[in-house]
Structure 1
Amino acid sequence: MGYVKLNNRVSTQKILSGAAALLLALAVMVALPGCGGGQSDEDVIRASLSQELDSIKNIDDSFVNEFSESINMSQLSVYGIDGVEFMKAYLDGFDYTIDSIEVNGDTAQAQITLTCKSYTAYAQALQDAVNEITSDPEKIASVNGSDSEINDMVGGIVIDSLNGVDLATTEPIIINYTKVDNTWEPASSTSGDIAAALMTN
C-alpha cells in the first residue's frame, strides 16, 4: 500500500510545474518596458532592466510576498511547501549581468546573462531522490502513513533536492526593443526567450 500511495503522490512533472510557473513569471518581470525621462535611451533600458533584476536578486520580503501571490503555486502547497519558502530557495544566489545595449534609432537590443539554480540539475536531483525512495523496499515499507504524512515527505524531497542544486549561468539572452510613444517596449517573444534560457540552464 505504501508503494502505491507513494508513487501516486510523487509525480516529478507535477512538482516541476511549480518551478516552471516561477521561472515563467520571472521572465515576464524581466521584460517590463522602460520609459524615458531625460536619460539616454541606453540608460533608460539599462535602468529598467537593473530595477527588475535587482528586485529578484535581492529577494526582499515585499517583492517575494507580492510575487508569490501573482503565480500559481498550488501544485506545491499540496505537499506542504510554502510558496515563499520555495521561491527564496530557488532564487538563492540569483545574479545577472547586462552585457551590452545597442540602440539604433527606435530599435534596440539588450544582451543579458542570468545566473540561478540550474533547472535541469533540479529536475535530475528531484528524479534521483524519487527513484531512490521508490526503489528501496525498506523506505517504501515505512511509508504507510496518512496522505498528509506522505505529502509532507514528498515536500521534504522537493526542498532538499532544490537546496542541493548548484548555480548555473544561462546562455546570453537577446531582448529586442522598439520605442513606441517614448517608451521602450520589449518584443512579444521576450518572456518566452528568457523562460527558455532559465529552463535549460
Structure 2
Amino acid sequence: MDYVKSKSFTLAHGILVLLVAITMIAAACSLSGCLGSPSDEDAIRAKLTSELDSIKNLDDSFVDEFSESINMSQLSVYGIDGVAFMKSYLDGFDYAIDSITVDGDRATAQITITCKSYTGYQGALQNAVTDITANPDEIAALSSDEINQRIGEIVIGSLDGVELAATEPVTITYTKVDGQWEPASSTSGDIAAALMTN
C-alpha cells in the first residue's frame, strides 16, 4: 500500500512538475511571440518594412501609383517618361525604422528615409538652366519642340548626378482595426513630402 501511495505521489508530483513546466513555456512563448500572432510592434514593423521595401526595390506598381499621385505625366511634353524619372529619382532609396510606439489601439512609427536630395536636384537644375540661357542665340535658333526636348535633357541630366541625403524623420500613425494595424490615410502624402523636401 505504501508502495502504491509512493508511486501515486511520485506520479502526481511528476504531473504537477510537467504542468508547471508547460505553463512556464507557454508564458515564455507568449512573451517572445513563439505561440500565436506576433506582437503589435512586430506586426507594424513587418507591414512598414513591406511597404518601404516596395519603394526600395522600385516595385512597378508603387512607382506607377506614385508617379500618378504627383502628376508626373506633365513631363511628357518634354520627352520625359514619368515612371523612368521616378525610378531614377528613387535609385539609392533606403530607410531606417527609428522607433515604434504602441498605445492601445493606436501606434506611431518614426522612420528616416535616404534618397536623392530634392534640394540638390533643384540646385543642379538651376545651374543647368543658367548654363543654357547664357547663350540666348542658341535657344533662339530652336523650335518649340526642340526647346522642350532640350529642357527634358536638362531635367534628366540634372537628376543623374544628385547625391543621396537623409530626410527629416517621418512619423506614421497607425490604428488597429479588426485586429489589423492600418496606417493613416495621410501616410503616402507624408512620405512623398519627405521625398520632395530633403
Q: Give the alignment's Cα RMSD to 1 decimal.
A: 2.2
Matched, 1:187 2:192: no
Post-superposition shift, 1:40?
1.9
Q: Distance in 2 between matches of 1:62 and 1:192?
A: 17
The number of residue pairs the alignment matches comes to: 162
The 5 Å alignment of 1:1-201 reads 38-61=37-60, 63-65=62-64, 68=67, 72-134=71-133, 136-137=134-135, 140-143=136-139, 144-201=141-198
Post-superposition shift, 1:190?
3.5
Q: Distance in 1 between matches of 2:168 and 2:101?
A: 18
Give the TM-score of the pair, scaled to structure 1. Answer: 0.72
- The secondary structure found in structure 2 opposite 1:145 is coil
Q: Deviations over 1:125-179 (max 9, x none)?
A: 1112112211x13xx2122222221111100000011111110001221212221
Post-superposition shift, 1:199?
2.5
Q: Distance in 2 between matches of 1:71 and 1:172?
A: 21
The 1:133/1:72 distance shift into structure 2, 3 A limit, reads same
Q: Unaligned regions of 5+ residues in structure 1, if any?
A: 1-36
The 1:59/1:196 distance shift into structure 2, 3 A limit, reads closer
Q: Distance in 2 between matches of 1:111 and 1:124?
A: 29
- The secondary structure found in structure 2 opposite 1:152 is helix
Post-superposition shift, 1:197?
2.6
- The secondary structure found in structure 1 opposite 2:78 is coil
Amino acid at match of 1:123: Q
Give the TM-score of the pair, scaled to structure 2. Answer: 0.73
Q: Distance in 1 between matches of 2:88 and 2:194?
A: 19
Post-superposition shift, 1:123?
1.3
Amino acid at match of 1:115: T
- The secondary structure found in structure 1 opposite 2:102 is strand
Percent identical among aligned pairs is: 72
- The secondary structure found in structure 2 opposite 1:184 is strand
Post-superposition shift, 1:183?
2.5
Q: Distance in 2 between matches of 1:79 and 1:186?
A: 36
> Does the 8 Å CA contact 2:67/2:73 hold for their aligned counterparts?
no
Amino acid at match of 2:39: S
